[in-house]
Amino acid sequence: MAVAVRVEGLEKRYATDEGAVNAVRGVSFEVEDGEFFTLLGPSGCGKSTTLRCIAGLEKADGGEIAIGDMVVVSQSGAQVPAHQRPIGMVFQSYAIWPHMDVFDNVAFPISRGKGKLPKAEVRERVLEALSLVRLDGLERRPAPQLSGGQQQRLALARALVRQPKALLLDEPLSNLDAKLRDDMRVELKTLTERLNITTLFVTHDQLEALTLSDKIAVMRDGLIVQLGGPKDIYDDPNSRFTAEFIGTTNLLEGTVASRDGDVMRVETPQGTLVCAALDSLGPGDRAAIAVRPANIGVSAEPPNADNVLEGSIETVVFLGDSHDCRVDVGGELIRAFVHASRSVERGDKVYLAMSAADCRLLPPEAAFVEREDGGGASLRLGAGASPAVA
């Protein structure tokens, strides 16, 4: 499959009173035609800055960016102006023109300047874009009179009217209420799949990333720390940071005691646990075991399983379809989900069972340090750790 967007060695620095801040540090990735690619991470990790460099709203300080066959940022420093890049963009605030009606908002990118099209073609494209986002018949409604969801779809129509090679979305759902956000997430997924349009999506919301994406780049401190499909990243995080940021997880600290083939035994304050081996770790190394609450069995009697821990329920929160239980095991609160049909109460003595396949062994956390040559950042790792940086 052809590459629609290529980012190689992207660097972006900002000057502050305390000195230069490296917002993006040698980021590289490729997005295939029709792929939904998400940059995911906490505030300040560099995800929006990366997207804005692709859009041309920020000037890159190094690296190369290509959209289709057009190199928009070259290694020599030459950069194509934002309005000449074959992209459409939707901002978090939507950036709707309040003095224009729906039609004129959508028509704006193709009715002015060098991108101006003949009037008949403008009308045809605008009506087509409005139909795609289900705003038919609202062409002459003042933009401020639209609901939040309608304004989000209006912004999407304006981005699509240019028929871009890539659609860039900067947290476009964050201003919507929970129910509307769920609805728009489905609509956005359906629309991008139907149009087969290459999409770069920025969010800090793990659920949005997992449900929408074909591929996710997890970012931290201006670096991509893991790159892969949603299921791969959720099931097989390569670091404590990714494990905690993507979904809910328990982290149990311990020391590798022994290895037997593909299995390692890890001593923790809660007991000895068996999990799949990690080649970068050996006996005596510190590590953490990540296990998802949904992968922990809770029973009143000791089960026949690989890893069984005994504890008592500290708190129970009813979630509708399940009970969210915090179980005290040797002073550590371990979170587990129990089906709503089960009766569980605070103080109950229970046994937690975790299969070795569901216990993910993680290396010590990586530390991010400035390179002495001033060229961004590198990873300095604890014993036995290894990065998986794209």
**Cα angle for residues 122, 3, 63 (degrees, 5° grid):** 100
- Secondary structure of residue 248 in the 3-state scheme: coil
pLDDT over 50 (residue 151):
yes
CA gap 264, 243 in Å, rounded = 19
pLDDT over 60 (residue 263):
yes
Across 82-110, b (16+ Cβ under 10 Å) vs e yields eeebbbbbbbbebebeeeebbbebbbbbb
223-253 pLDDT, tens digit each: 999 999 999 999 999 999 999 999 899 999 9
pLDDT over 70 (residue 331):
yes
Answer positive or negative: Cα dihedral of 96, 100, 102, 105. negative
CA gap 246, 99 in Å, rounded = 41
CA gap 75, 34 in Å, rounded = 26
Rounded to an integer, the average pLDDT of 375-390 is 39
Q: Where are the domains of the chain?
A: 3-235, 240-362
104-121 pLDDT, tens digit each: 999 998 888 777 899 999
pLDDT over 80 (residue 41):
yes
Q: What is the mean pLDDT of the chain?
A: 89
> CATH: 3.40.50.300, 3.90.76.10, 3.20.20.70, 3.30.9.30. Which one for 3-235?
3.40.50.300
CA gap 222, 347 in Å, rounded = 45
CB 135 within 8 A of CB 143: no
> Percent of the chain beyond pLDDT 90?
72
Distances from the Cα of 79 to the Cαs of 29, 53, 72, 164, 376, in angstroms? 19, 10, 5, 18, 21
- Model confidence at 380, pLDDT cuts 50, 70, 90, reads very low
Question: What is the pLDDT, as a whole number, of residue 134?
Answer: 87
pLDDT over 60 (residue 378):
no
Q: Which residue has the higher pLDDT, 308 or 187?
A: 308
Report which of 85, 89, 57 is spatially closest to residue 71, judged by C-alpha positions: 85
pLDDT over 60 (residue 81):
yes
Rounded to an integer, the average pLDDT of 377-384 is 39
CB 264 within 8 A of CB 251: no
Answer positive or negative: Cα dihedral of 103, 114, 90, 20. negative
Question: What is the pLDDT, as a whole number, of residue 369?
Answer: 41
pLDDT over 90 (residue 301):
yes
CB 12 within 8 A of CB 60: yes
> CATH: 3.40.50.720, 3.30.470.10, 2.40.50.140, 3.90.1580.10. Which one for 240-362?
2.40.50.140
pLDDT over 80 (residue 94):
no
